Structure 1
Amino acid sequence: MTRTAAPVTRAERLDRLPFTREHGRLVVGSGLGWALDAMDVGLISFVMAALLAQEEWGITPGELSWIGSIGFVGMALGATLGGLLADRFGRRQVFAVTLLIFGVATGAAALAWSVGALLVFRFLIGLGLGAELPVASTLVSEYAPAKVRGRVVVLLEAFWAVGWTLAAVIGYLVVPGSDDGWRWAFALGAAPAVYAVVVRWGLPESVRFLELRGRVDEAEAAVRRFEAAAGVTPVDSPPLRPSTESAGWSALWARGSRLRTASLWAVWFCINFSYYGAFIWLPSLLFSSGFTLVKSFGYTLVITLAQLPGYAVAAFLIERWGRRPTLAVFLVGSAAGAGMFAAADGDTAVLITGMVLSFFNLGAWGALYAVTPEAYQTALRASGAGAAAGFGRLASIAAPLCVPPLLDAGGSGLVFGVFAAFFVVGALATWGLPELRGQTLDAEPGSGSEDLFSRSAPVHSDPA
């Protein structure tokens, strides 16, 4: 008797494809937005150092800390709301809107006439920035083939290094050029407002989201577009029952989800605290320790370049070792880099240890963005990613504010020693994260540790 082949879902059809030019366009299209995001975040570290050097602004260390932190207040709110909106209205729509918001606000920041005005504009910038990152990573992860999904998301995250390097170039060439150099830097940061139009019309909407909303014809057209790029003959997929409701936040803490949520939030918090505490203050710390403004910016540029090989190695290992081992190793490496930087003495030691910290820290970021969308299924994916990012942004708010008192208490050695400790805690928290290397994105996310408590628990069951 002939056995009838099981119908293939659209998600399975996407998972079976090789990496094609359509995937490349999606990664580059999303990655350019990601790079512009990084450029904007990176610029503030150079603006802070420039304002510190200008006597007419008369900025105190406390005010400087708030200039560094206020954007992350907006990012915390933006990440949380952006994820919710992306699960309700679509990944592409929210991605485009966030680019528009932070692009316009960045341009407006170039006109800031006081510390208060700059704080307001930085908050609005953060609102758009925070929402963009989890939404973009969710969109890319939902299209990437299962066998290379982690590597593709790390590749997307690598655009962060491109943007931060661009910020370092602008900081090195533009900011020190005149008293208004920081204003010109912000003016250049308005580019995302223009790019938002490209995103809105050039990128596809998530197939999984379209199916969830009953927009089956659009979902089928999107899958066929990617199949055509791979030279694959389309097959019929089974009909679906559309859903008009998104899972609530309570599902993040339901039985079967709570351990991975707690672990994810812990890693996000620790990596945000150490990364932003270190890199937002780095040019200012170098300047305060005796480097000239130009030299401190030049060293920051070189240290930033070490991010690129960090991403490359993480992208290679994430499909060899898996998500959790790669993330844990790079977090431990980040802790070692921060510890060495704390003990660095002399220009060469500062440069080398800073590069080690940059290499491992950004590789860890790549692995974290790969594992985050895999922790939840479609109805909750963007919301879960956004909530984790939003919680992590609380640490990015606190970290720049903690640097001045830590400096007073024990100098830069204590500052980077604290950052090293947070990296270690983050590495320990990876124990509870899911591992979906090579599996479909809609597989039941789980980790060995969580299965000990709720092996058969559904992902979105009611709270116990």
Structure 2
Amino acid sequence: MTTASEERMIRTDIPARLDRLPWSRFHWRIVIGLGTVWILDGLEVTIVGAVASRLTEPGSGISMTSADVGLAAALYVAGACVGALFFGQLTDRFGRKKLFMVTLGIYLVATVLTAFAFAPWYFFLCRFFTGVGIGGEYSAINSAIDELIPARNRGQVDLAINGSFWVGSGIGALVALLLLDESIFPPNIGWRIAFAAGFVIGLGIMFVRRHVPESPRWLFLHGRVEEAERIVDRIEAEVRAETGVQLPPPAYRITIRVRGSMPYRELVTIAFKRYPNRAILGLCLFIGQAFLYNAVTFDLGTLLHGFFGVDSSAVPYFMVLFAASNFTGPLLLGRLFDTVGRIPMISGTYLGSAALVVALAVLFRSGGLTTVSFMALIMATFFLASAGASSAYLTVSEVFPMETRGLAIALFYATGTAVGGITGPLLFGNFIHSGNPSLVATGFFIGAGAMALGGIAELIFGVRAEGKSLENIATPLTAEEAEADPRRQGEIQAARELNRRTDQEHEAARARNMRILRRAAERAEHERAGLRRARPGTGAAFYSPGQIGTAGTTSRWHAASDEELDRELNVITQALEEHGPTERSTLAGYVGGRYWGPRRFTQALREAVAQGRVRRLTRERYAPAGPRGESWSMTSSDC
């Protein structure tokens, strides 16, 4: 429900309505329609890496050196930076959907033209504009994904989507494997078809995107309230029809002031004056992953060919292995970013990969690596680094206010990538071209230092964003403006009166608050145990029981994640009380657990057992714990 009492003031519960949705086909459509852009990026980067050695051989149809390959990679990254900066501001001004259709179109045109390259300068130009399209995608796509995916699933989904880059990488390597086979295609034709393959995949993605809606969060922020309401109503109707789940009431509402687009100068002011720690964190994360990733990925083919004697036609085999390790990292570790937490997982993946790169550099310099051992170390390193790199995009899209999200992603991606993503391929390309193992090892040491910098920044400045709504992590600027307006005080008081609960609802809320307080106290005690008490980083706010949905304070957002868990616990308990001892799979069917999101049912069931609300009879069979008064030391009557 949204109300607008004056022309530029809007009160809405749209963010809460989106965050409470159970997992459904709608969310899979978002993942497929938007997340697959990373497949395109992976396809582009890997094709260049796989065909790089072919482009330097006689008869390729284009005369390039290994240094030219590094320059082309740098220009691709430079184009991505320009595209992110240019389209990042436009995506906040004109909307997510318009821009992710435009940027995909730019990519399609540029990648087709690359297939007709006849000279290095033409190849460089096409690669630059291909990067422009991909860079523009970053800000529009990450903004839309994080604004449409429920808070409880955002970390895992975001990492898996960003990790899908390596699905494209694997496809690119397999396609290149066939196209570089001179028994099938001439040496001057196969690599051209490889670039054209990106166009075919892009057309399929464009078709799916036509059915992805505009972000309702962006719409109401720009005053298009009725359109936002229609989209959310349609999504809710689709989800109810699919799942049969009765949606709980929204947990909170916010009041915002409609305002125009925000220029870069104001974004920089907000980022570095209002959120200086978060700004430093975003830069360090992006610089670290951009240097290491772009350096190794773009030059892996020439590295294998020049130092390990791998034939250019065999390079794609190794690229497939490299892609597999990179994809399984965020896929397998992704859920831990929502459960273990952002700070330990991000810092762990960055510092762990840095340590492995140091070992790789030492062994490479000493000549103690074979092709097999080199690839084993590379795969272990990027299993961790891939999850860390994906979390950089997640972090900058979470920790800044909604009005600046597209610009923030663009600014930090462009700045970090310009520093790390351009210098990395240039340095590595020239180091490899020199044929000196010590220089290449030096490049690896630099990459390890850059990743370590990101890990240390996360330990010091990291934000515990797991399970929180975007409006909780960073309060919208326009919400603060609206609530600070003295003309709003009468309306705010009226809203409080209108939102007062009935006596029965109030008693239920008090009982819920006590349960949430108990869990928060247990988590706080857990954080203080052992070495955890000295863990650096921003602490989690303690839950303050209050009227979620009342205006005037930001505390109303802090409870949304805990309330969602409490609702899931109640549903599980009620189902067992109604049906008696039940198999786990049957219980999941009773409560609609498959629609809660990846592993949400498992986590809620484990929490119910830990709290004594559910008894575990066997490995797969559960029963109610008895009257609720026996399971809780404090109930609603104690409040």
- Please name the residue that 2:64 is paired with: 59
Q: Does 1:44 pair with 2:62?
A: no
Instruction: Tell whether 2:351 aligns with 1:332.
Output: yes
Give the aligned partner of residue 168 of structure 1: 173
- Residue 354 of structure 2 contacts residue 447 of structure 2 at CA under 8 Å; is this kept in 1? yes
Do structure 1's residue 22 and structure 2's residue 40 form an aligned pair? Answer: no
| Partner secondary structure for residue 223 of structure 2 | coil
Q: Extract unaligned runs of 5+ from structure 2.
A: 1-10, 241-245, 476-535, 540-553, 555-639
In structure 2, give the amino acid aligned to 1:186.
F
Counterpart Cα distance in 2 of 1:300 and 1:340: 21
Contact 1:105–1:190 under 8 Å retained in 2: no
Distance 2:461 2:53 in 1: 39
Q: Quote the sequence identity (%).
A: 26
> Which of 273, 283, 287 is the matching residue for 2:305?
287
Change beyond 3 A, Cα 1:272–1:53: same
1:225 aligns with 2:241: no
Q: 2:341 aligns with which of 322, 326, 329?
A: 322
Tell me what 2:600 maps to: none
**TM-align CA RMSD:** 2.5
Residue 315 of structure 1, CA deviation: 1.0
- How is 1:374-389 mapped onto 2 (pairs within 5 angstroms)? 374-389=398-413
* Letter in structure 2 aligned against 1:400: P
Q: Which deviations, in whole Å up to 9, do the C-alpha atoms of 1:399-428 show, x marking residues without a partner?
A: 111114444462432222221121111111
Task: Return the alpha-carbon distance in structure 2 between the equivalents of residues 347 and 214 of structure 1.
Answer: 58
Question: Aligned runs of 1:359-370 on 2, under 5 Å?
Answer: 359-370=383-394
Single out whichever of 207-216 and 309-318 deviates more from structure 2: 309-318
8 A contact 1:102–1:126 mirrored in 2? yes
Rounded to whole Å, the distance in 2 between the matches of 1:301 and 1:444 is 38
Counterpart for residue 256 of structure 1: 274
**Number of the residue aligned with 2:37:** 33
Q: Take 1:297 and 1:355, find their aligned partners in 2: how far apart are those partners? A: 15
Alignment of 1:397 with 2:415, yes or no, is no
Provide the rounded CA distance (Å) in 2 between the counterparts of 1:146 and 1:339.
36
Tell me which of 293, 301, 309 is aligned to 1:275. 293
Within the alignment, does 1:440 sit opposite 2:487 as a pair?
no
Of 185-194 and 391-400, the range deviating more from structure 2: 185-194
Give the partner amino acid of 2:267. A
Partners of 1:239 and 1:331 lie apart in 2 by 36
Larger CA deviation: 43-52 vs 81-90: 43-52
Secondary structure, aligned partner of 1:293? coil
Q: Could you tell me which runs of 5 or more consecutive residues in structure 1 were left unpaired when the two chains were aligned.
A: 1-6, 452-457, 459-464
User: Which is worse superposed, 194-203 or 174-183?
Assistant: 194-203
Q: Do structure 1's residue 357 and structure 2's residue 381 form an aligned pair?
A: yes
Offset of residue 138 of structure 1: 1.3
Q: Tell me what 1:462 maps to.
A: none
| Equivalent residue letter for 1:435 | R
Question: How many residues were matched structurally?
Answer: 446
Q: Separation in 2 of the partners of 1:301 and 1:241? A: 48
Query: What one-letter code is carried by the residue in structure 2 that aligns with 1:389?
Result: Y
Q: Name 1:454's counterpart in structure 2.
A: none
For CA contacts below 8 A with separation 6 or more, give which structure has more relative contact order.
1
Q: 2:219 aligns with which of 210, 217, 222?
A: 210
Aligned to 1:103: 108
Q: Which one-letter code corresponds to 2:344 in the other structure?
A: P
2:16 to 12, 18, 29: 12
Q: TM-score, normalised by structure 2?
A: 0.66
SS of match in other structure, 1:435: coil
Greater helix percent: which structure? 1
Bigger radius of gyration among the two: 2
Shift in Å at residue 193 of structure 1? 4.9
User: Bigger CA drift: 175-184 or 314-323?
Assistant: 175-184
Instruction: Report the secondary structure of 2:339's partner residue.
Output: coil
Question: What SS does structure 2 have at the residue aligned with 1:142?
Answer: helix
Tell me, in whole angstroms, the C-alpha distance in 1 between the residues paired with 2:341 and 2:172: 31
In the aligned structure 2, how far is the partner of 1:212 from the partner of 1:418? 43
Residues 135 and 77 (structure 1 numbering): CA distance in 2 closer, same or farther, change over 3 Å?
same
The Cα of 1:444 is off from its aligned counterpart by 4.3
Q: Distance in 2 between matches of 1:352 and 1:20?
A: 38
Secondary structure of the residue that 1:294 maps to in structure 2?
Answer: coil
How many angstroms apart in 2 are the aligned matches of 1:149 and 1:277? 29
Which amino acid in the other structure matches residue 286 of structure 2? W
> Which residue in 1 is equivalent to 2:198?
189
Q: Distance in 1 between matches of 2:409 and 2:122?
A: 31
Which whole-Å CA distance do the structure 1 matches of 2:297 and 2:99 have between them? 28
Counterpart CA distance in 1 for 2:301 and 2:537 is 41
